Amino acid sequence: MPAKQINDLHSLMQKSGLWRASSIECECKQGFSSGYPALDQHLPGAGWPLDGVTELLHEQQGIGELQLLSPALARLSREQTRHILMISPPYIPYPPALHALGIDLASILVVQANKNKDMLWALEQALTSKSCSAVLCWPKKINDKQIRRLQLASKDSNTWNILFRPTHAIRQASPAELRIHLSPAKYASLNFHRSIHLKILKRRGGWESDELKIDFDDHLNQQTPDFSELIIPTTDNVDYETKTQRRPMALPAFPAIAG
Amino acid sequence: MKRKHNDDLWLCLHFPQLPVEIFTRGKTEKPVVVTVKQRITHMNSIAMTLGMQVGSSMDTAYVLCSNIVCFEKDHDKELLALNFLAQWAYQFTPNVALKSPASLLLDIKSSLNLFGGIENIKTQLQKGLLHLGYSAVLGVHHTPLAAHISAKTALPDVAPLHDTPIEILDVEPRILESLQKMGMRSLHDTLALPYSGLTRRFGVFFADYLQRLQGEKPDPQKFISEQPSFLSEITFLSDVTNVESLVFPIRRLLQEFCEFLMARQLKVSTFSFTLSHRSHKPRSFSIHLAEPESDAAMFLLLTQLHLEKINDVEEIDSIRLSARQFLSTIALSGDLFHGTRFQQKDGRMTSLADAENSARLTNILNARLGQDACFGLSLANDHRPEKAWKPVQQGSLELGDAEDNHRPLFLLPQPRALSSHNGKPEFSGDLLLLQGPERIDCGWWDTPIARDYYVARHPAGALYWIFQERPRKPSQALSQELPQKEQPWFLHGVFS
């Protein structure tokens, strides 16, 4: 290569704003740490994008798809006064487990919409209302145009929209900010050690990633946010008088388990 | 004429067209008449231009115009409307009295300063009434009775009443007839007579009436008390068949409602609409708000969402808005520099804009998806997994002690029976038990459970929370010869 061209290339490299396909460092916003350093280093902005649609594609319930989000949701629930909305979860999001993961239950709202149309409507309302920090949704059916609308709405209102979708949606094009395929780890042992495999299918300023393995129980690898400093409500510091009057509610109808 | 109470000032609102206006509310292009026993008693201006006359029969009316709308005179509705107007007039003065059949008396002496003079009050009253669809004649005088008479005869403010014909006076027809026979024509003639003579001739009430009229005797009024409920109704001249066209009348009702709330510094958390038709049962729906509000635009949006769901109403001839429970508004002062408002909540500073947005979202979701569609989560103090949580209304937080044991992120609302093979549970594949058993055996006081919980792994990798029922009465099971009957397995949670 002639010296002049090499020089040109060097001067070009000096300029900021040049994106190299080999790196995911781009001029994107600082992400919200996922709580798993192994994952953070592969995410643009070193964390979850708190504005935009994140798609999690998985085949089976119960492979740790919510647990993957839990450190981020726990931090969000304590740092922001906005709600975390769950629209049409397949089962009851179980409060004792949420509490155990450090999620502030007061910030969680669950919406039951039986029809897919109502679900998408509720999702868009939640995104445009600007009153939610994160909206988790389990849509039965959604197309790319609808995701595009959600992407715009969540950008506009600074809301993190997480969509849980079946794996066959991989073939569909999607305007989502981030798409991750989740698969269960192969276990050999009988112990309760949990991990999950994930593959980033789409990210801003980066190619599809290799398969990553996230260990939920590996405390050395994982920087769990320190919740000891935060006020975890115990019976001692709760002012019982501030509790508002409660209305007994009927148990919501959840769809029967499929499969 | 000597006046003792000549510093008082009374304003009378007289509604000559009230019997018609309760049906039309001022907005119609059709001739409307009100009848008593098939005789016209009142009519709107369009009917008047067509040449209808008071006292003529309905047959005559139909000859003059075929598409005339006819209503039977409705005293109850008139009184209801008058009450509503009295409540509306409450924003001008706290002293409002009803004068049936169709007048209101307002003591405006103390309101003059606030509203900047009598003319301003009159203009605002006229404007407001026009908006509500009522027309009134205003009369101002020093005593309630005099104000009433000047309203009925449309005299200028505080004009002398001497020339008033005696027919206008609010007295019995018998007295009126005698006065006419005596040759009295105007109030002036009557007042020239000595009271002692009048008392002897017509009784003490007539003399008393004249004295109260002139302010020589006090005339205490029974003022309305502030009404704790709101009710307003719009009647349609022709039946409304599609729900969409209700938006305009609803907007009008909500506007009135918000004026009502504003005048009293109130907020409302629930209100209801009633759609009725003469031929079938009225249909009502209520709108519940997550947080008390007083915002007409928000109310309209929620009502529209509700209307979209109504599809079983064929015809409607009147719509009514009512509300009973109110909360007083707490005035919140804004930040001087930023215009943002903050409040303390759970020790965190919460932007009021956030709180408002969130209440708005809950309102909208509940309006479309149903009252309990949107709920919060709370712990409950119970060892039974299905009772260790409960749905709560947004904003209410209850604390319980969470179990230290491992719990799944998703709980099935109802445990799902699993098939089993050789005592091993199956769920589209053999389940491998990883952890357990954790025995939960309690609840003898209402719904007892006796279960052994395990964490199980599906061959595909998913983790489930499953349990095996314990025999109900272990002593019996042991004593009987039956071999250990296989206990059923259930799926209860998903480690999502």
Residue B384 in any domain: the answer is no
pLDDT tens per residue across all 496 residues of chain B: 444 456 788 999 999 888 888 888 777 778 888 888 888 888 888 888 888 888 888 888 888 888 888 888 888 888 888 888 888 888 888 888 988 788 999 998 888 888 888 889 899 999 988 888 888 899 899 888 888 888 888 888 777 888 888 888 888 888 888 888 888 888 888 888 888 888 888 888 888 888 888 888 888 888 887 767 888 888 887 888 877 788 888 888 898 888 888 877 888 888 899 888 888 888 888 888 777 777 888 888 888 888 887 776 778 888 889 888 887 776 555 555 544 444 444 444 556 667 777 888 888 888 888 878 888 888 888 888 888 888 887 655 666 666 667 889 999 999 999 988 887 888 888 888 888 788 988 888 888 889 999 988 888 888 899 999 887 665 554 545 455 567 889 999 998 8
Final residue belonging to a domain, choices B214, B239, B256:
B214
Phi/psi for A41 (5° steps) reads -70, -15
CB contact under 8 A, A118 and B394: no
Half-sphere exposure of B48 (CA within 13 A, CB side): 8
Residue B396 in any domain: the answer is no
Residues ≥6 apart with Cβ < 8 Å to B367:
B287, B302, B305, B306
Looking at the structure, tell me whether residues B103 and B203 fall in a common domain: yes
Final residue belonging to a domain, choices B328, B346, B365:
B328
- Tokens matching residue B348: 């965190």
Strands (E), B324-409: 326-328, 342-345, 348-351, 374-379, 389-392
Q: Could you tell me if residue B210 is left (phi over 0), alpha (psi between -120 and 50 degrees) or otherwise beta?
A: alpha
pLDDT at A27 over 60: no
Total tally of structural domains belonging to chain B: 3
Listed residue (A254, A180, A206, A173) closest to A21, CA to CA? A206
Omega before residue B437 within 30° of 0, cis? yes
Question: Both ends of chain B: CA-CA distance in Å?
Answer: 92
One-letter amino acid at A35 equals G
Looking at the structure, tell me whether residues B206 and B245 fall in a common domain: no
CB contact under 8 A, A231 and B402: no
The angle, 0 to 180 degrees and rounded to 10, between the axes of the packed helices B173-181 and B195-202 is 120
Nearest-CB residue to A250 (from B365, B372, B412): B372
**Contact at 8 Å (CB) between B483 and B396?**
no
Looking at the structure, tell me whether residues B241 and B207 fall in a common domain: no
Looking at the structure, tell me whether residues B178 and B258 fall in a common domain: no
Residue A18 is predicted with a pLDDT of 66
pLDDT band at A17 (very low <50, low <70, confident <90, very high): low
Residue B98 in any domain: the answer is yes
CB contact under 8 A, A251 and B376: no
pLDDT at A240 over 50: no
CB contact under 8 A, A94 and B493: yes
Looking at the structure, tell me whether residues B157 and B191 fall in a common domain: yes
Looking at the structure, tell me whether residues B448 and B489 fall in a common domain: yes
Final residue belonging to a domain, choices B214, B246, B276:
B214
Looking at the structure, tell me whether residues B299 and B431 fall in a common domain: no
B318: domain CATH number is: 3.30.1490.100
Task: Outline where B25-94 has alpha helix (H).
Answer: 45-49, 58-64, 75-89
pLDDT at A223 over 60: no
Residue B59 in any domain: the answer is no
Looking at the structure, tell me whether residues B182 and B82 fall in a common domain: yes
CB contact under 8 A, A183 and B398: no
Residues of A in contact with B464 (CB under 8 A): 62
Q: Does A189 touch chain B (CB under 8 A)?
A: no
Q: Does A192 touch chain B (CB under 8 A)?
A: yes
Residue A23 is predicted with a pLDDT of 60
Inter-chain Cβ pairs, chain A and chain B, closer than 8 A: 202
CA dist B433 → B151, B400, B456, B463, B471 (Å): 90, 29, 4, 10, 20
**Contact at 8 Å (CB) between A55 and A171?**
no
Looking at the structure, tell me whether residues B184 and B258 fall in a common domain: no
pLDDT in tens, A52-64: 899 999 988 888 8
CB contact under 8 A, A125 and B364: yes
Nearest-CB residue to B409 (from A94, A113, A249): A94
Looking at the structure, tell me whether residues B412 and B460 fall in a common domain: yes
Residue A241 is predicted with a pLDDT of 42
Looking at the structure, tell me whether residues B196 and B252 fall in a common domain: no
Give contacts of A 47-106 with B, CB under 8 A. 59-67, 70, 81-83, 89-101, 105-106
Secondary element (H or E) of residue B133:
none
Residue B393 is predicted with a pLDDT of 79
Looking at the structure, tell me whether residues B254 and B177 fall in a common domain: no
Domain that holds residue B312: 230-328
Residues ≥6 apart with Cβ < 8 Å to B385:
A94, B407, B411, B440, B453, B492, B493
CA dist B490 → A169, B126, B395, B435 (Å): 31, 73, 34, 16
If you measure CA to CA, which chain A residue comes closest to B394? A109
pLDDT at A135 over 90: yes
Residue A159 is predicted with a pLDDT of 92
Domains of chain A, first to last: 46-186+193-220 (3.40.50.300)
Residue B89 in any domain: the answer is yes
Residue B5 in any domain: the answer is no
Nearest-CB residue to B360 (from A129, A244, A247): A129
